[in-house]
Structure 1
Amino acid sequence: MDVVLILDHGHVNGGQAKVALDSALGLAARGHRVDVFAAVAPVDPRLSAAGIRVTCLDQPDIATASSKLAFAGQMLWNRPAARALAGLLAGRDPGRTIVHVHAFAKALSPSIFAAIRRARLPALYTMHEFFLVCPNGGFYDYRRHAICRRAPLSGACIATNCDMRSYPRKAMRLARQVLLEKLARWPEAVRDVVTISALQETAVAPHLPPGLTLHRVDNPIAVPDPGPKPAGPPGPLTYVGRLSTEKGVLLFAEAARRAGVPAVFVGDGPEAETLRGRYPEARLLGWRDAAGVAEALRAASALVFPSIWYEGQPLTVYEALARGTPVVVSDACAGREAVADGETGYWFPSGDAAALAARLTRLQDPAVLARLGAEAHRRYWAAPLTLERHCARLEEVYGLVLQRRAAGLAAPAPGARLQPAA
């Protein structure tokens, strides 16, 4: 197949780009012709080494833009990106070409969907977040620190300042959402959407236009099998990730204090100083490289994942399970789908510090830890999230999309799920 992968950044700057670029490398290794189209440099050197053609516009994102005013125009409608993508897609065979969008909101803008629509090529979008339907991309109210259940672009949505920084930035995002729907007309460009968790599908279903086909494709992770954990003294209860309110880090620190157990944080973020001031007994280790994170996950008695927003498919949860480390997870986030409650870890009611403390107390029993950890390791390695499995599933989905296109059918392909708007 001829696969064109589209994303904001040409290098790994987070989980979204890592999945896209790893899949590019995996698909190329399986014999497909792969192009990567990105806005922001630098370009991952592995791509050219693998024979992947890269178009990088060398544009800024919001973090690197010298002029925020000039970037506002790029954010709303990136004309150079639309022109360059139109040129890249021109003349391609619709019978063997797949256009796969992974990200657009940080640099490329809605304009790319107009280019895809005009090219009339089969296209998919992977919903790593919710920018396809939600202006702030998360169905989360950053001011009230709660999941947002308002209908996107409704009067209540427009009137609510849910943005992390300011209402003017929310207004820009509202304008971008209008352009995405009314000018780019994304549902005419993309008829197939890849989802990464069941919770994500439930959250987005009421806001999707009718006639879209949803395909579940789990993200890949690269974790060597370390074998079951050996017997030994319990390790710390550990959090790994950004130290921010929506991630529930203050909740974890409070629950650990109530349970009388130490809390360890691997990462950094805006709540770091609050944690140090309010919970001096907590250990903040800062960011660690991949090897350091792997070591922390293996050494932990359990990973605590207390996120209070939906998440997408939090790979840290799977990485912990792969290393034989049980996980305590909020029941409001998609991480719960990886954890069998009472068997490979525990769920707890989102936002409930007392309930979380009770789960942390259970983990002080070495026999409980050994049982949960052994089962976590066994279940993960029974069906690991390898890049090979990920690419095989992508090939299956791409094939279904191309078959439906060739047959001229409007109905969903077998094995996919149609999710009509409510």
Structure 2
Amino acid sequence: MSHAADEAFTVVIVLDHAYVSGGQSRVAFDSALGLKAHGHRPIVFAAAGPIDPCLAEQGIEVVCLDQSDLVTNPSPLAAAWQGIWNTDAAAALGALLGRLPRERTVVHVHGWAKALSASIARPIQASGLPAVYTMHEFFLLCPNGGFYDYRKAEPCRLEPLSAACWSTNCDSRGYSRKLWRNVRQTVMEQVADLPGAFGDYVLISEFQGRVVGDRLPTQARVHRVSNPIAVADLGPKPDPASGDFTFVGRLSPEKGAFVFAEAARRLGIRPVFVGDGPVRDELAARYPEAEFRGWQGQDGVAAAMRGARALVFPSLWYEGQPLTVLEAKGLGTPVIVSDGCAGRDSVENGTTGLWFKCGDAGDLAAAMAQLRHDGTVARMSQASYRDFWREPPSIDRHVAEIVAVYRTATGRSAVGKEADATRAA
């Protein structure tokens, strides 16, 4: 499917990395590829390289500044300043937006906190172009991006930038880092006014909407658009009760890896981890019975989830819309998911999987025990497969929904300019 030139959008997709560094960039690139296939003109603007080959292979324009991100920057001082105000990124984005056609051009920001900084607000505002923000995480609202206290290993319910927030060390690295994050947040809100740069916001799950509540600018329009999920239709599982209870993702405290390992130990079964991360060595030392398969490519991850008895998604923080939960369902694998994250939106408790109490290894063990019964696994496997493929969140569906957002954004922009002209007269 393609669009006539006068119907096609130019979309500047703004994010920190020009390569797939996680779910955020993966979704942004899938969206870019889908827009390109449907006749639109996506342009990826990123701070840190290298450029993902899939973009060039599909003829997608990329503006990459070849900067370090905040983690890989060899100078801690330079990284700290870059995170607060990336002058080069602001200048380069301004130059890009300045050479694009005014009509049917949209700026779509997917991420800014790991390399670009809030400085991107200035060129977006100066361009006068309609701008859309997808809420993959919560850096626009919370200093550490997750409404999560890494010290207590639980969601944080403090008001961001309140006195209690300033005095609480919730950061995974230390209190000095927390103070820097709060300074960055203050600059983002009060100097750059990054939230005010966007007329339209995209939320990716109902759960996320409940977390965000009324924190977004009052004049903004809020849309609900699912992430695109690229998974092959392999048909129902021939032997759904085979395989292991499997965790797929980054091995970090907030992902609940220890909760899963402890629940498996209580049942006397082997937990399988597909992925890697900062707590891998500690996990291996505390739970030597666990199997660690490391990072796998896309095909390897799909094979691991297809072959699993169940995917266990024990995240302790809110998440946005976990891709692996939906991918597992599409592969016919039931999911056991924490009730404290957005993954539960995709799992019908008792039908396509099970919910368990967030952070409770005993409750997770009880849920896993239910799925030790072959008949239960087979029933939930079939239900998961049917539920996903009844109305799959395909790239075509995603593009149709996101283009509808762009139409709304450009329509509002035109109305706003007319109103400004009337007031000026």
Q: TM-score per shorter chain, which class?
A: over 0.9
* Correspondence for 1:99 among 101, 107, 116: 107
| Cα distance in 1 between the residues matched to 2:399 and 2:18 | 19
Q: How does 1:275-354 map to 2 (within 5 A)?
A: 275-354=283-362
User: Are residues 1:222 and 2:230 paired?
Assistant: yes
| Cα distance in 2 between the residues matched to 1:262 and 1:237 | 8
| Cα distance in 2 between the residues matched to 1:410 and 1:67 | 48
| Cα distance in 2 between the residues matched to 1:289 and 1:332 | 28
Secondary structure of 1:222 counterpart: coil
Name stretches of at least 5 consecutive residues in structure 2 with no aligned partner.
1-8, 420-425
Partner of 1:418: none
User: Are residues 1:129 and 2:129 paired?
Assistant: no
Counterpart amino acid of 1:18? R
Q: How far does residue 91 in structure 1 lie from its aligned partner after superposition?
A: 5.3
Q: How far does residue 156 in structure 1 lie from its aligned partner after superposition?
A: 0.7
Q: How far does residue 388 in structure 1 lie from its aligned partner after superposition?
A: 1.2
Q: How far does residue 404 in structure 1 lie from its aligned partner after superposition?
A: 2.0
Q: Deviations over 1:75-134 (max 9, x none)?
A: 111111111111111154444111100111111110001111111110011111001111
Q: How does 1:180-259 map to 2 (within 5 A)?
A: 180-231=188-239, 234-259=242-267
What is the identity percentage for the equivalent residue pairs of Structure 1 and Structure 2?
A: 54
User: Are residues 1:119 and 2:133 paired?
Assistant: no
Q: How does 1:366-405 map to 2 (within 5 A)?
A: 366-405=374-413
Partner of 1:81: 89
Q: How far does residue 275 in structure 1 lie from its aligned partner after superposition?
A: 2.2
Counterpart amino acid of 1:135? P
| Cα distance in 1 between the residues matched to 2:175 and 2:214 | 25
| Cα distance in 2 between the residues matched to 1:410 and 1:258 | 65
Q: Deviations over 1:146-194 (max 9, x none)?
A: 1011111111111111111011211221111111111111233112111
- The answer (yes or no) to whether the contact 2:306–2:333 under 8 Å persists in 1 is yes
Partner of 1:90: 98
| Residues 224, 232 of structure 1: alpha-carbon distance in 2 compared, 3 angstrom cutoff | closer
* Correspondence for 1:160 among 150, 168, 171: 168
- The answer (yes or no) to whether the contact 2:171–2:178 under 8 Å persists in 1 is yes
Counterpart amino acid of 2:27? V
Counterpart amino acid of 1:204? V
- The answer (yes or no) to whether the contact 1:240–1:267 under 8 Å persists in 2 is yes
Secondary structure of 1:157 counterpart: helix
- The answer (yes or no) to whether the contact 1:129–1:138 under 8 Å persists in 2 is yes
Counterpart amino acid of 1:23? S
Aligned residues: 411
Task: Output the aligned Cα RMSD.
Answer: 1.7
Q: Deviations over 1:31-90 (max 9, x none)?
A: 112221111111123323433222111111123212111122111111111111111111
* Correspondence for 2:11 among 3, 11, 25: 3
Counterpart amino acid of 2:371? L
User: Are residues 1:13 and 2:21 paired?
Assistant: yes
Counterpart amino acid of 1:60? S
Q: How far does residue 229 in structure 1 lie from its aligned partner after superposition?
A: 0.5
Q: TM-score, normalised by structure 1?
A: 0.94
- The answer (yes or no) to whether the contact 2:273–2:292 under 8 Å persists in 1 is yes
Counterpart amino acid of 1:73? W
Name stretches of at least 5 consecutive residues in structure 1 with no aligned partner.
412-422
Secondary structure of 1:37 counterpart: strand
| Residues 280, 172 of structure 1: alpha-carbon distance in 2 compared, 3 angstrom cutoff | same
Counterpart amino acid of 1:83? A
| Cα distance in 2 between the residues matched to 1:48 and 1:108 | 22
| Cα distance in 2 between the residues matched to 1:129 and 1:269 | 19
Counterpart amino acid of 1:259? L
Q: How far does residue 233 in structure 1 lie from its aligned partner after superposition?
A: 5.1
Secondary structure of 1:11 counterpart: coil
* Farther off after superposition, 154-163 or 37-46: 37-46
